[in-house]
Amino acid sequence: MEIVLLQDVKSLGKKGQVVKVNDGYARNFILPKKLGVEANAKNLNDLKLQKANDAKVAAEQLAAAKELAAKLEKASITVAIKAGEGGRTFGSVSTKEIGKAVSDQLKLEIDKKKLVLEEPIKALGTHEVPVKLHKDVTAKLVVKVVEA
């Protein structure tokens, strides 16, 4: 029996794939758990429509990421940190603080997990922080660290 997978199934295939399985395996495992549906003309047509929709959504997400990247490239944010004599800082600036500063100063929502910091910022001055917005789009955000 041929099955169109609705979810990834370990050792069988990925979502959207058409696979050939034994009738018993399909009736007793795949179909009752809603992991797949029988591969008939209607289901295959629905699969094609769904793939077309997925491609459209992916294109929209890419366009939105490029637009946000353009905004971030033009902007810069300022983060204040406590510092002692000689510009030595107490603590560091993390992705959480940068994300909060972006939402407060630029009115843009960026998840802290999208900010790529090799290590927290521990020095005063201007730093460029890469922001991974999409698998194909990475922007550079200018972060100015000043003494509080």
Q: What is the pLDDT of residues 32-41, one digit of tens each?
A: 999 999 999 8
Q: What is the pLDDT of residues 105-130, one digit of tens each?
A: 999 889 999 999 988 898 899 999 99
CATH superfamily to which 2-64 belongs:
Ribosomal protein L9, N-terminal domain (3.40.5.10)
The residue extents of the domains of the chain are 2-64, 65-147
Residue with tokens 């991974």: 132
Q: 65-147 in CATH: which number?
A: 3.10.430.100
Beta strands in 21-136 (DSSP E): 36-38, 76-81, 125-134
C-alpha distances in Å from residue 78, one per residue of 75, 88, 93 = 10, 18, 11
Residue-level pLDDT at 30: 94
